Amino acid sequence: MAAILHFLLALGVIFALALLVSHDRKQIRLRCIVQLIVAEAALGWFFLHSASGLALVESVAGFFETLLGFAVQGTEFVFGGMSKQGLAFIFLGVLCPIVFISALIGILQHWRILPLLIRLVGTLLSKINGMGKLESFYAVSTLILGQSENFIAYKGILGDIPPRRLYTMAATAMSTVSLSIVGAYMSMIEAKYMVAALLLNMFSTFIILSIINPMKKPGSAAHRPG
């Protein structure tokens, strides 16, 4: 009971602080905030408590473990088994897998597989969070590509984006962790918490942005990365 009260108190304080610095309180849409809270709660229960959600998390974890296994074999081939001797752990155990997964993401990006996935998920997100497709596309692509690389993908339209929309994009970028780093984190943290945190953190950011930086959903077609 104490934990629930602590959670509700923390939630109230966060919402109050966000409301205090809100850019335009009159534009806050409670329906979108409620939708996001319900979606986040449902995803949290699905990934952490349901049998199918846990099975999905285990599948994702197994996929990344396989990728990390390939990265370890490549690292040992290049550096001659230094990792087995406990040498340069951060470089060999964390940074090298990041390089490997980043290269894999680059291949999927080149084959246009990731852009298609980003647009599909981004379109679905825009219907839930009440924001424009641009912000939703950007949040999903940041989750996959990473913060710095993602801004490069949108460089052709950055000069035309209004400051408030650009703030929303920057905030979503700061709240995500790219898949290239997820593999390294999964070697330190239990996989189910990592997968749940990736998605829930993105939804939490949408909730806070809906209060701090509320905007009417653009009616025109969204910009997309060129």
Closest CA to 176 of 208, 211, 205, 137: 205
Structure tokens at 180: 């290239």
CA 12 – CA 209 distance, rounded (Å) = 16
Q: Single out the residue of 223, 141, 149, 146 nearest to residue 182, CA to CA.
A: 146
| Residues 79-131 pLDDT 10s | 776 766 666 666 666 667 777 777 877 788 788 887 888 888 888 888 888 88
**Distance of alpha carbon 75 from its chain centroid, rounded?**
27
CB–CB of 195/63 below 8 Å? no
pTM of the model: 0.76
What is the tens place of the pLDDT at every residue in 9-61? 998 999 999 999 999 899 999 999 999 999 999 999 998 889 998 888 888 87
